[in-house]
């Protein structure tokens, strides 16, 4: 009897958790957003308009990250959004995801000097000379 009660309670909690509203990235065409968390709730601020693609939005977010760092603000990770996709910028590069908590796919990687490049865009050194 007790095991049944525990199982029902866990099932109820799982169902309620699945019903919670997922945070969605804004879908506005061509708008690059910066996301901050205020009072536990996400807030999206317009960073740039008329951005032609995800790469340009990532560049705007990276520019903001670098500006913060030059001011002495230890802003390591930045979260943004572009046309329903989340962008995550960190010291390793830029990652994209369909949801805030979903799997993050590599979009751009850091080069040896810290710049961002598309994966595979940099020539590989073979080590043979």
Q: How far apart are CA 87 and CA 58, in angstroms?
A: 7
pLDDT at 28: 95
Give which of 80, 7, 97, 2 is closest to 44, Cα–Cα.
Answer: 80
Query: What three-state secondary structure class fits 113?
Result: coil
User: Which of the pair, 110 or 31, is modelled with greater confidence?
Assistant: 31
Three-state helix/strand/coil letters over 24-42: CCCCCCCCEEEEEEECCEE
Q: Where are the domains of the chain?
A: 23-117
Query: Which residue has tokens 């910028």?
Result: 89
Q: Beta partners for 124?
A: none
Nearest Cα residue to 106 out of 64, 33, 48, 54? 54
Instruction: Write the pLDDT tens digit of every residue in 53-87.
Output: 999 999 999 999 888 888 887 767 999 999 999 99
- pLDDT value at residue 122: 62
């Amino acid at each position: 009897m007790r095991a049944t009660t525990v199982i029902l309670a866990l099932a109820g909690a799982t169902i309620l958790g699945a019903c919670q509203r997922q945070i969605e990235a804004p879908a506005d065409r061509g708008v690059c957003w910066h996301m901050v968390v205020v009072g536990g709730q996400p807030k999206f601020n317009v960073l740039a308009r008329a951005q032609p693609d995800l790469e340009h939005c990532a560049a705007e977010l990276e520019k903001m990250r670098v500006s913060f760092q030059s001011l002495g603000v230890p802003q390591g990770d930045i979260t943004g959004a572009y046309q329903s996709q989340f962008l995550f910028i960190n010291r390793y590069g830029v990652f994209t995801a369909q949801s805030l908590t979903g799997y993050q796919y590599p979009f751009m990687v850091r080069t040896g000097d810290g710049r961002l490049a598309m994966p595979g865009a940099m020539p590989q050194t073979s080590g043979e000379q």
